[in-house]
Structure formats: C-alpha cells, structure tokens
Structure 1
Amino acid sequence: MAGRVLLTRPGERGEVLARTLERSGLVTAALDILRLEPLALSDSGRAALLDLDQFHGIIVVSPQAATCLAEAIASYWPQLPQGLRFYAVGEATAERLYTELGVPAVLPPRASGEHSEALLEVASLKAVAGKRLLLARGESGRELLPERLRERGADVEVLALYRRHYRAPSSPAKGWLEQGDFAALVVTSGEILQHLVTWCGPVALNQPLIVSSPRLATLAGTLGFGSLHVASGASPAALNAEIRAVLGPKGATFDQGDHGKG
C-alpha cells in the first residue's frame, strides 16, 4: 500500500499523531526506530533538584522531559516550590506540565513555531542576566538553548532525564525506505532524520518529507532529501494540515467518510 504515511515520532506522542492522521483518513505506519529510556539522576542533577527553589525558571524541551521532571520533583518536593516559572518548547510539553505538575508554562509566540529558536524570542528569556535557569531535556540534544541563554548572562544547568536508543528499521519498514514505497515521511527531530537517512534509497529521498521547522528542512536538504515540506509546527494538527496539503487525494488512501470534507 504505497499510500502509507511513515511516522517516526516515538511513544505516546507518536500514537497521538497516528490517531490524528487516521481520523483524517490517512493510512499510517510507525517506523519504531527510537525508544526513550528514563535516566537515573546524576549527583549534579540531584543537587539541582534539591535547590529547585533557587531557580528563576525551568525550561522543558519535550513531553518526555516533562513527565520525567515531574517524577523527579515528587521525590524531593512534596509540594512544588512557589514562584517557579516554567517554559515549554511546544504545546504538547505545556499540556504535559499542566497534567503532571498543575503548572502553566510560557510558550513561544504563537506564529513562531515550536522549537528552541522560537522559545528564545520570549521576552522574559531575553532578559536573563544573573538568573539561574534549569534546562530539563534528554541526555543529548541541541546546545542552542543553553549556549544562547549563557551568552545573555544566565546561569544555566542542564538536567538530563532520559536517553534515546536508536535502532534499525525492522522489516518491512526497511524495504519501504529502500524502495521509496510510501506516500510521505514525517520527521520532527534532526537526530531522527540523520539516523533515518542511512536506510533511504534514491526514490525515498525524493518522496515528500514533512518536517516541523525550517531548520529541519535545511538539514534535510544537506542530507539529500529533495521534496521538502515545512509544517507550521510540530503539533499533530499542524503536521496533518501539511500532509493533506501536500498529498491531497493523490498518493494517500482516505476513508470513504472523508470524501467531500474540506
């Protein structure tokens, strides 16, 4: 079924994305090339949590980081310290923070997208000289946030909460990538994109690639992808809108009940 849309987002968030696309009539297949594993806290991580009330703000880069952060905080603080300001890179992360900790989070400006560059445009993160900030993320990740915030005079501590485990696509997914046997590929992470390109044959490199930011589109171009399409963000709704705009009725399979809808 060449009309399948290949998804690379792991775990629960990948399932949410798949359900969103399937409700829209698209046929999806998860590549399952990435697993997220919680990490034991380092000595510096435990010290940061013990000093949580000394931080001016906590920046959380993903829903997984939000879940792990909430579990770690519960081990040290029966009640969350007052006055902490939380920042989230995207709406899914903000929703997870509210669900897990009951706190609102500052988001990037609505029209800016859901990525680190957009979060750095938040006014309160432009005036951080002398402030202590905690960055909750995975074991590895982009260094843009800590580097820029330190350049602005902040004292930034990185709290590594989970590890990414990459693996090769299983059969038949490996064949789909080798032969380009799919309608579109959806990628919202630079690390996933760099991992995945190894298995993409010439046809796959010229099938529609849906990404969530201009930065990822630039990276994809350097890796050899030739049909790049940038969604307005990383949310399921934004990705769904871009996929449908790219594919229309051609190349994807839609449910009968979807015909005639806008």
Structure 2
Amino acid sequence: MGMRPRVLITRPGRRALPLTRAITALGAEAILLDIMRQEALPESQAMRNVWLDFDQFAKVVVVSPFAAECLAESLDRYWPQLPVGPQFYAVGRATAETLHERLGVRVHVAAPGRGDTSEALLSLPSLQAPNEQKVLLVAGVGGRSLLAETLETRGARLTRLALYRRILVPPDDTSVRLLTQGDFDALVVSSGEILEYLAGWCTRAALNQPLIVSSQRLATLAGSLGFSALHVAPGAMPAALAAAVAEACDLNGADVDHDDLEKG
C-alpha cells in the first residue's frame, strides 16, 4: 500500500489526541472531523445544592470524561478535602482515569472485557439494589436515560445533574468532500449522536467504507443508517479502536506500542 490509509476520527475535545496518536502509530493518516464541541454549563442553583450536599450521596455515577472534568472543577471549589462517603462509578475506563487523576478517588468500573457501556456498568453487583440510597448521576444535557431509569427502577433516590452540553457543528469543506466522495479508508465513531449526524453527509460511497464503532449498540444503529462495512471494536479506548482500524485497513503488521496506547 503506497499511500498511508486515511482514517477519519470524530472524538471531541482533548480526547481526540490519544486516539490520533494510536492511529498514527499504525502508519495511517488520522484526520479529525471537528463536528462536536463540549461546553460546560454555567453554575445553576440546582448544581450548587448538589455540591453543598455532596457528602450525602452514597454513589456518584459519571458517564463521560468531560462530565468527570466538570465534576472535578466544581468539587475543587466546594470541597478542598473530598468527603469520604460517596463511592464513584464511571462508564468506561477513560472516565475512570479522569476521575482518578483529578480527584484521586478509587473508581468502580465494569469488569474487564465487558466493554465501556452503561449496560456493563449496571451489571456490577454493588449497583443491583441501591435501595433508598441517594445516587448522583453526572452527565451532559440529553444523552441516554438507560442508567437513570435502571437505577430508579432498582430503588435508588436518583439526582440527575447535567454539567455540560454537546454542540454539533457542520463539518468544514474538506471534511464534506471526504465524506461525500468516500475518500477515506476508515471512519471511527464512538457516539450515537455523532453517527446519526454524520450519516447526513455520507453518500453511498462513504456508507460502503469501513466504519469502526465501539459497541454492538452503535453497530445496530449504523446498520439502520445504511453503513455496510461494520467493525465493532472491543471498547472505546484508543488501543481498542486502533486495533479495529488495523484490522479494517489490513495494517496488522504495524508495530503498535500497547503500553502507550492504553494510557488514552
């Protein structure tokens, strides 16, 4: 393959960097489609109430790395020393790593091999019967309600707190050209919202190119949107997505430093 394979990635914010590095390490060219921004919401009275009573929550469930960053910033202001009561839970390892780095807390995540999904987290024994426990769910505006609904069904006294919003931005001219011409070798998407949005610019040529997604749920959505060459990565971490890119682009001979990639 004379030309380096061109891989389009869609991860928002700073989290695009480790994924870009992981894909470049394969010998591919990584191009970021800058189509989603994440913006912290201004502090509301509802947020202040939660921060002041933070020590009363038995469990704090955080859904994304950006939610973890917003949470850490607020807690730094209100609690110079964190209360010992709340147990932290994270959807996905990147979210857990952000919480651990920023707050120094122990974080519960789904068992290895279960994937970085809400369903995997909900299978933890300690979340089966949160009867009458106060549980805080930290997320963005909108998003999936599976976590909230399931925890409430299981008896938790749930507070759902949105700390940021996601803003979809139209792709620039270069990105539109790549998508309409299918002028790429793989597209990497780990968000349903981004996948549905992108599909609007994808022609038949683009829908036939390899699409790497991070869960079976996204693969099902992708199939319904008309994507036909699906590759399901074993999770949303950079190493997992890069491994699926290597397979899709036939780059398996590439020398990948897995230790480095796991840090993403």
What TM-score results when the alignment is normalised by the length of structure 1? 0.93
Match runs of 1:139-178 below 5 Å = 139-178=141-180
From 178, 183, 186, the equivalent of 2:185 is: 183
**Which segments of 5 or more consecutive residues in structure 1 lack a partner in the other structure?**
none
The corresponding residue for 2:136 is 134
From 220, 232, 243, the equivalent of 2:222 is: 220
Residue 64 in structure 1 maps to residue 94 in structure 2 = no
Alpha-carbon distance in structure 1 between the residues aligned to 2:43 and 2:184: 41
Alpha-carbon distance in structure 1 between the residues aligned to 2:206 and 2:41: 35
* Higher mean displacement: 236-245 or 37-46: 37-46
The corresponding residue for 2:50 is 48
TM-aligned CA distance change 1:100 to 1:205, over 3 Å: same
Alpha-carbon distance in structure 2 between the residues aligned to 1:170 and 1:239: 24
The corresponding residue for 2:30 is 28
TM-aligned CA distance change 1:53 to 1:249, over 3 Å: closer
Q: Percent identity?
A: 51
| Structure 1 vs Structure 2 CA RMSD | 1.9
Q: CA deviation at 1:155?
A: 1.1
TM-aligned CA distance change 1:194 to 1:112, over 3 Å: same
Q: Which runs of 4+ in 1 moved over 4 A?
A: 258-261
The corresponding residue for 1:76 is 78
Match runs of 1:91-130 below 5 Å = 91-130=93-132
TM-aligned CA distance change 1:27 to 1:79, over 3 Å: same
Residue 89 in structure 1 maps to residue 91 in structure 2 = yes
Cα deviation, 1:83-123, whole Å, max 9, x if unaligned, reads 22100111111111111100010001111100111110011
SS of the equivalent of 1:20 reads helix
The corresponding residue for 1:192 is 194
Q: CA deviation at 1:127?
A: 1.6
The corresponding residue for 1:236 is 238
The amino acid of 1:206's aligned partner reads N
**Which segments of 5 or more consecutive residues in structure 2 lack a partner in the other structure?**
258-264
Cα deviation, 1:34-64, whole Å, max 9, x if unaligned, reads 1111111222221111111110010111111
Task: Say if 1:7 and 1:31, in contact at 8 Å, map to a contact too.
Answer: yes
What TM-score results when the alignment is normalised by the length of structure 2? 0.93
Task: Say if 1:2 and 1:182, in contact at 8 Å, map to a contact too.
Answer: no
SS of the equivalent of 1:37 reads strand
The corresponding residue for 1:8 is 10
TM-aligned CA distance change 1:2 to 1:222, over 3 Å: farther
Cα deviation, 1:114-146, whole Å, max 9, x if unaligned, reads 011111001111121111111111112110100
Aligned residue pairs total 256
SS of the equivalent of 1:137 reads strand
Alpha-carbon distance in structure 1 between the residues aligned to 2:74 and 2:227: 40
The amino acid of 1:116's aligned partner reads S
Alpha-carbon distance in structure 1 between the residues aligned to 2:255 and 2:191: 32
